[in-house]
Structure 1
Amino acid sequence: MKNEKGFTLIEMMIVMLIISVLLIITIPNITKNNSNINNKGCSAFKKMVEAQIQSFEMEKDRAPASIDELKTEGYLKTGKCPDGTDVAIQPDGTVNTIAP
Structure 2
Amino acid sequence: MINEKGFTLIEMMIVLLVISILIMITIPNITTQQTVIRGKGCEAYINMVQAQVEAYKMENNTTLNPTIIELHAAGFIPSTDCPNGEDLQVTGTGEVALVTTP
Q: Distance in 2 between matches of 1:10 and 1:61?
A: 74
Q: Distance in 2 between matches of 1:15 and 1:91?
A: 61
Amino acid in structure 2 at the alignment position of 1:99: T
Cα RMSD, aligned residues only: 1.9
Q: Percent of pairs identical after alignment?
A: 42
1:1-100, aligned counterparts within 5 Å? 1-3=2-4, 6-62=6-62, 63-100=64-101
Structure 1 gaps of 5+ residues are: none
Q: Does the 8 A contact of 2:90 with 2:97 survive in 1? A: yes
* Count of matched residue positions in the alignment of Structure 1 and Structure 2: 99
TM-score, scaled to structure 1:
0.82
Q: Distance in 1 between matches of 2:28 and 2:17?
A: 18
SS at match of 2:46: helix
SS at match of 2:22: helix
Q: Distance in 1 between matches of 2:24 and 2:79?
A: 36
TM-score, scaled to structure 2:
0.81
Instruction: Map Cα deviations across residues 32-78 of structure 1 (whole Å, 9 max, x no partner).
Output: 33332221121111011112112222322224420011111111121
Displacement after TM superposition at 1:2 (Å): 4.8
Structure 2 gaps of 5+ residues are: none
